[in-house]
């Protein structure tokens, strides 16, 4: 039911009767992983970066190898490569600010994005609590930048 909205749902790891599920937009992931800094960082952890699918397979391997999340997972969640790299290099210290993730790069841009995410989360939480289904909450992605929303409404 989410495929026609451009979303994919993929179980990445099973453990103790639970599943870690990755919900993503293939087009957005592909664009994120084409970034040279993201590709270089992924290659340093043994990723083959020719296709997003190869990257997801390696992420699944990395998740099964460790009990902790591999820090490069941020690249799969849309975090800026400079923030993921900064987190790894600085061992989670020395960040400029923290919101949805720790920021090592463009602090102002990150703060604006965090505000958009907060507003969006509140809106979707209210709609879910008022009875909207997940299918109705999922929107098709049009040509909007990360942090924007389709259907003509941008926060």
Distance separating alpha carbons of residues 118 and 75, to the nearest angstrom: 20
Q: How many domains does the chain have?
A: 1
Q: Is residue 144 part of a domain?
A: no
In-domain check, residue 150: no
Distance between CA 85 and CA 25 in Å, rounded? 23
Predicted local confidence at residue 153, as pLDDT:
36
**Residue 124, domain extent:** 3-137
Position 152 in a domain: no
Inter-residue contact 22 to 76 (CB < 8 Å): yes
Interatomic CA distance for residues 73 and 41, integer angstroms: 11
Please report whether residue 58 resides in a domain.
Answer: yes
Average pLDDT over residues 57-70: 92
- This prediction has a pTM of 0.86
Task: Assess if residue 120 is contained within a domain.
Answer: yes
pLDDT of residue 83: 98
Q: Using one digit for the tens of pLDDT, what is the confidence trace for 101-146?
A: 999 999 999 999 999 999 999 999 999 999 999 888 988 765 444 5
pLDDT recorded at residue 90 = 97
Give Cβ neighbours of residue 135 (< 8 Å, ≥ 6 apart).
1, 2, 5
Strands (E), 96-135: 97-98, 102-103
For residues 147 and 1, give the distance between their C-alpha atoms in angstroms, rounded to a whole number: 23
Residue 149 placed within a domain: no
Q: Would 153 be classed as within a structural domain? A: no
Is the pLDDT at 16 greater than 60? The verdict is yes
pLDDT band at 152 (very low <50, low <70, confident <90, very high): very low
Give percent above pLDDT 70 in the chain.
90
Question: Quick check: is 145 in a domain?
Answer: no
């Amino acid at each position: 039911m989410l495929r026609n909205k451009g979303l994919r749902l993929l179980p990445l790891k099973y453990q103790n009767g639970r599943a870690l599920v990755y919900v993503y937009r293939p087009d957005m992931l592909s664009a994120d992983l084409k970034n040279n800094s993201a590709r270089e960082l992924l290659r340093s952890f043994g990723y083959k970066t020719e296709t997003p699918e190869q990257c997801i397979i390696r992420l699944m391997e990395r998740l099964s190898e460790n009990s902790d999340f591999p820090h490069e997972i941020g690249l799969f969640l849309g975090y800026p490569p400079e923030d993921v790299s900064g987190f790894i290099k600085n061992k989670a210290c020395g960040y400029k600010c923290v919101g949805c993730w720790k920021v090592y790069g463009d602090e102002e841009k990150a703060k604006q994005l965090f505000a958009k995410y907060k507003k969006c989360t509140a809106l979707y939480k209210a709609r879910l609590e008022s009875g909207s289904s997940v299918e109705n909450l999922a929107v098709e992605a049009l040509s909007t930048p990360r942090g924007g929303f389709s259907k003509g409404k941008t926060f």
